[in-house]
Chains A and B, each alone.
Chain A
Amino acid sequence: MDEELHVHKKVGSIGFGMMSPKLLKQLAAAKIVTPELYDKEGYPVDGGLMDIRLGVIDPGLRCKTCGSKLKECIGHFGYIALARPVIHISFASVILTLLRTTCRECSRLLLPKAKIDANKNKLLQLGADKGPEAQRKRLKEMLTGAKIGNKCPHCKARQQKITIEKPTTYLENEKRLSPIEIRNRLEKISDDDAHLYGLNPKTVRPEWMILTILPIPPVTMRPSITLETGERSEDDLTHKLGDIVRINQRLFENINAGAPEIIVEDLWDLLQYHVTTFFDNAVAQLPPARHRSGQPLKTLTERIKSKEGRIRHNLAGKRTNFSARTVISPDPMLDMNEVGVPRVMAEKLSVPERVTEWNMEYLKKFVENGPKKYPGANYIVRPDGRKKKITEETIEQSLEELQPGYLVERHLLDGDIAIFNRQPSLHRMSMMCHKIRVLPYKTLRLNPAVCFPYNADFDGDEMNLHIPQTEEARSEAEILMMVQTQLISPRYGLSVIGCIQDAISGNYLLTIEGSEMSRIEAIDLLAAVGIDDFSKLPKKETVTGKEVFSVLLPNEFSFVGKTRSSDEPELIIEKGKLLKGVMDKANLGEGSGFMLRNLHKRYGADETISLIGKFFRLGTMMLMRRGFTTTVSDTDLTEEARQEIQDLFKKTEDSVQDLIKQFEDGTLEAFPGRSAKETLELKIMELLNNARNETGLIVERSVPQHSHTMVMAQSGARGGLLNLAQMAGAVGQQALRGKRIDKGYKDRTLSHFRRGDFSPDARGFIKNSFKSGLSPSEFFFQSVVGRDALMDTALRTPKSGYLYRRLANALQDMKVDHDGSVRDASGKIVQFAYGEDGIDVSKSEGGKINISRVASGVRNG
């Protein structure tokens, strides 16, 4: 395969520095002398800004410098010789420091020689240790500390006061210093002195900060756009450069013609303005250069900085091919590490496979099918890298051509590797590797149990799919990113994947005390889950739900844990038999229980993931057989209960009125450090909270006990008792920032109430339940709190996003070294052992070593 002789080069390091005028001239491919862009035929003018020596952006033309065509030629710099020197805006402050701290006559540093010699090494060392900024700061301190008066310690010349009139005018004793003069002074600064400022003499000369030559960026980085009308629209940079060239030419002409000094100066200032805005169009004191439409030009600085700039958008942000995105929907019959890919996607995305003698026949079948018939192929790639599209017409030809060494880009097949992702990708479980299952219809499908790590739901969420294209990428994805390898969260060391919603309700109903079914039914249920070995099921006429569940458990598994239920708070599994306790969210749910963690520890990731899949299917299948719904009558209360709640509210209301009366009489004793009014509020809040809690208890007692709503609340599948109480009993106090609602009108919350009314009704207490319906004032109170919550989320997201970005940026280079220490990119030690004990959280059990498990293991041999 001699045609594949790619040389892979690696960038070892990148140096930064400034270019000298001489170097700029040497690098330049052309000298630009005219602001004209194209001649009458639309051909780029020689010596113009679009000169084809600077590269080509038109199809058909060839670059005069390198001879390559469009897209091959990367472009070449040109230059303008400026008629008069101009200050580079970005270095304005450095120039000022240099002018102020060097002698105006001899350009030496304004420090006595002895002092320089004594501190030189110290300063340079400081620069090497803490960076040049620290060095410059120290130098400044030394200069202010060395009281030299206003005489140069070297040549005794009197120094003048130098000020800057921003952005680029320097004044010496109110008299303007021209850039020529400044350049002359900077030229005289010796390399040794410059080094003390932290300027590296190898890369920078101070006078280079005053421009005499302006480099012209290649046309390829400022391409023009041809509008539909055939008109050319030039890039912002070209516009700006045009201005510069135009003014520069006029300045030349005026100088040569011997125009009055004042005209030359004006033009010079204008040139300075244009050059300044060319570099940075957001200088505080200058009006930004604008388009004719009035919108500011985007010049060099704006191109680089901010999120949409070159660095964050183009350099650090990568784009990819072989990816797809669409709406997701659930499919519990998929395995957890599978993703359902619609057929249309599978036909567009492809996997390259190398043709060898042994798989030739196999791959030929794909090519035979062509791009339209699944499973087919879209492209064949010749060994020299040429891609050939397979179309209906070229199938025959491609088949004939195909031989070992070729690549076939075939359609996706079941079992191919893909990376699945949902944004925002906040943690590593947001991008996991799945195996592909090509399915009909047009959504991407995933097992609902993996929703939690992705934080996905199916109300219209979309997700992305990526197909790794190399063997290396595929194996890395499979070994490191497969769903089962991500089971244990590196955040807290417990399973992030577990049963959700129906799967929890189902298992709860199955394993609850008294759940029974005939053996036939049990076998039917288990078969639907995918079990075919029923030997573990007791050979009795009727079996309990716990026995059915136990069939799934591995034979040797023992576990003791807790459940959410108050009737059966203990969960005991012994030798693969569920003896006591119900399966609810505490054990099956994500991020909560140790049962899944223990299964993982004992049987490994693959076994656990398939077990969770079985649990999940058992739960949903159970519900399908049993029927599961929710209804308004689930929230029906008995007449007595309703009366009880009424009485409770009456009593609370009375006590509140008592308190208010005490407050008004001034007999209310204030809490220490609180005013009487605050005390009143706190006491009322307490009363009302008690009332709501008691309502909750009444509701819990008197609502139909075995309703499906209760099942959901008790198993932890969805909703809590609070939600039920709000639906059946009363919504309760609406709290705004931890207080009762007190904003709105003067001295009152809404115009429905009297001024200074402290009663529960007037301050956001909702007596009604969602079922009975809210009164108008209650509705307003709920909306107030609802909107506050909405605002809170809207304001929080960007804040926490920024925190996350900063954290990620600061910590991204920290890695564990071979000696177990944590080091940053430059090898500095941050921790001697990761987390003080070197334990990987994602390999631990909730961040710890599970001593009791190990101990019982030892005891039992």
Chain B
Amino acid sequence: MATDINAPVDNSDPPAASGYPGGGYAVSTDNSSRRKLYSRLFYLLCVLISGLSVVVLGVLLVSIGWQGHSRLTWDLLQNSHSELNPESSGMWPSIIGSVFICGICAASALPLGIGTAIFLEEFKPASKPLRMLHSFIQLNISNLAGVPSIVYGLLGLSLFVFMFNVFGRIQVNESSGTELFGVSHYYQVLSLAGGGHTVLIPQEDESQKTIKIDEPTQAVSRDGETFELAIWDPASGQPKPSDPEVRKRTVRKGQGGGAYSETEWYYLRLPFGKSFLAAGLTLSLVILPIVIIASQEALRGVAPSLREASFGLGSTKWQTVRHVSLPAAMPGIMTGAILAMGRAIGEAAPILVVLGAAVAKNSGPQNLMDNVVTMPVLIFNWAGRQQAAYQELAAAAIIVLLAVLLLMNSAAIYLRQKMRVG
């Protein structure tokens, strides 16, 4: 199609303009040479302005490479952000964070998006009101694609982080919302062993944040075994136990302890709070319209004859979708999905809104409710600082981010090529 349109136009490029059939007539009037001049000038303008985008891209890549190449070391990939020591700051936690968030995002946006696309493309209703609903959904999706990502961020903040405060609010050291599973609450009490050795006492009343040990109770060691906690009362005149093993199971009478929670990786609570689960789900809202539109285009590209053949063999609508349309459209859908994930990895605004701007985190997420740092947020933080060292780090982190994107896009192109062969 593209080449069909271009073919005759290409032949009439200004250099070839002398080939006009009416050339003799045109030359004889004054205004024709002016018109040809305009045409040539316009062509020149087109070339210049189109070339501009190539130049801009070149300047962008060169300037960032120039600024960041000196920081592109293993330190950058292995270390975490440091306020005091920009020389050895790195982005390892942010890489892990981006991967986790994108995983959540893909797991929620892809099924939802592909399902919607199948519904819109394969199950077109016949009755009038349903058809109107259908086209309304379609219009709505195009509109969602135009909503600024930061508005999705605010939606994520209300919907996932606070859940409209239905389940209570999460406040540090006061309330952790409604906890579903994966967490056990303890009091942490110093034992006699010294060196900061502590024992854990199961918490019964969650509203009570501290405890005072006056009598022997059940306790749990750090290794998870339950034992009877002994009490040593200095006032009683008994000597302090000398055996280190006994000391580990004994606390001073009147010793206080604070609340302590131990979480498993599947720890889940409502609302989600500033967690990477909430961030991933928010991001899935951002890329959902992109996934839907790409999948729709892929499904539209499946030849109708394939479906008709399937119907002719007596398959039902769902069987046709499941075994004919969907496999045929799969390469296109996957290409669109990878491009959407590329968008998700580079997206900073919604994550900034949901997780906040803090970047001081030195590991990946420990459980589903843990906060993370992502690459774009880290870049934003570094780029906003005055020190030259952080500016260079930002450029180096951008190089890493662009490399990841390049990798993903190559995968998409590879899939597209493979689809053509198939």
On whether the two chains bind one another, the answer is no
Which chain A residues have a beta carbon within 8 Å of chain B's beta carbons? none
Which chain B residues have a beta carbon within 8 Å of chain A's beta carbons? none
